[in-house]
């Protein structure tokens, strides 16, 4: 399984002759990663690798797992191919970042790699786009308008869970905009609609998530309770908190 993010704001640097070297997205991302506080945490497997002519053998850092490390030239093994593919935009094609989630989970990076990449993107001053060309923030704000129109009396938290879920169904990325969440309802919506396994259009996501018997605006169910127990949930509605504690 792959998780893909489409970027805007990437500006390739030109050489003195006007040529644009390939691979700059990865190069700029690598530089930006040094500004992410957790970049040097050693969280990966123990790997032999070559760094500037010296051979090391230790746990890989988050940055090394994302970008990869070189195998030594002594034919004794080692090295690690990065978990992320960085694709420069060409002509009318946007830049893309593709995360190999299956490998990430196998190496223990499944819980943090997406958030780390998002922090790198932010540090590089790029923006994330939905497949329809909206930034994630734009899609979130537009979805809020739909929630307000359909459920004007719903709480701010519920509306933001809806809007964040719309973005997640469109991109596969957990989105906690608006200052609240992700709540158990947002996690439940992601599980129910298998966010990331299929990408929905904006209209499809809105139509699914506005349902009165769905995971956002419907009753608390066993799925919500599972998410509350198994996921990191924040800012749940007080009414939901009471209901989550109710034994069926």
Which pair of tokens denotes residue 63? 């940055």
Which pair of tokens denotes residue 132? 């329809």
Long-range contacts of residues 21-24, Cβ cutoff 8 Å, at least 24 apart: 22/88, 23/86, 23/88, 24/88
Residues 115 and 223 in one domain: no
Q: Average pLDDT of the chain? A: 87
Residues 20 and 122 in one domain: yes
Residues 47 and 158 in one domain: no
What confidence tens digit (pLDDT) does each residue in 188-211 have? 999 999 987 778 889 999 999 999
Residues 29 and 114 in one domain: yes
* Structural domain ending residue among the three candidates 129, 149, 170: 129
**Residue 44: CB atoms within 10 Å:** 20
Which residues span the domain enclosing 28?
2-129
Residues 117 and 24 in one domain: yes
pLDDT mean over 131-160: 90
* Structural domain ending residue among the three candidates 65, 94, 129: 129
Q: Tell how many helices (H) and how many strands (E) occur in the chain.
A: 10, 8
pTM of the model: 0.65
Residues 119 and 143 in one domain: no
pLDDT of residue 210: 96
**Residue 38: CB atoms within 10 Å:** 14
- On the question of pLDDT at 134 being above 60, the answer is yes
- On the question of pLDDT at 177 being above 70, the answer is no
Q: pLDDT higher for 118 or 207?
A: 207
- On the question of pLDDT at 129 being above 60, the answer is yes
What confidence tens digit (pLDDT) does each residue in 211-223 have? 999 999 999 999 9
pLDDT mean over 55-73: 95
């Amino acid at each position: 399984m792959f998780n893909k993010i489409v970027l805007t704001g990437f500006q390739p640097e030109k050489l003195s002759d006007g040529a644009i070297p390939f691979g700059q997205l990865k190069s700029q991302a690598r530089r930006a990663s040094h500004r992410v506080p957790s970049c040097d945490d050693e969280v990966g497997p123990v790997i032999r690798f070559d760094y500037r002519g010296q051979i090391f053998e230790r746990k890989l850092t988050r940055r090394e797992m994302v970008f990869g490390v070189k195998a030594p030239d002594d034919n004794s093994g080692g090295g690690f191919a990065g978990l992320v593919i960085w694709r420069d935009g060409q002509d009318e094609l946007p830049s893309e970042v593709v995360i190999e989630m299956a490998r990430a989970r196998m190496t223990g990076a499944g819980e943090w790699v997406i958030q780390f990449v998002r922090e790198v993107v932010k540090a590089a001053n790029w923006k994330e786009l939905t497949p329809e060309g909206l930034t994630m923030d734009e899609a979130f704000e537009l979805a809020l308008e739909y929630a307000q129109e359909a459920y004007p009396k719903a709480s701010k938290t519920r509306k933001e869970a809806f809007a964040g879920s719309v973005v997640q169904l469109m991109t596969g990325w957990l989105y906690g905009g608006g200052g609240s969440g992700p709540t158990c309802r947002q996690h439940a919506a992601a599980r129910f609609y298998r966010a990331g396994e299929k990408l929905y259009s904006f209209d499809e996501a809105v139509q699914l998530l506005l349902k009165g018997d769905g995971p956002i605006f419907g009753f608390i169910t066993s799925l919500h309770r599972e998410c509350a127990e198994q996921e990191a949930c924040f800012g749940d509605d007080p009414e939901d908190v009471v209901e989550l504690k109710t034994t069926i």
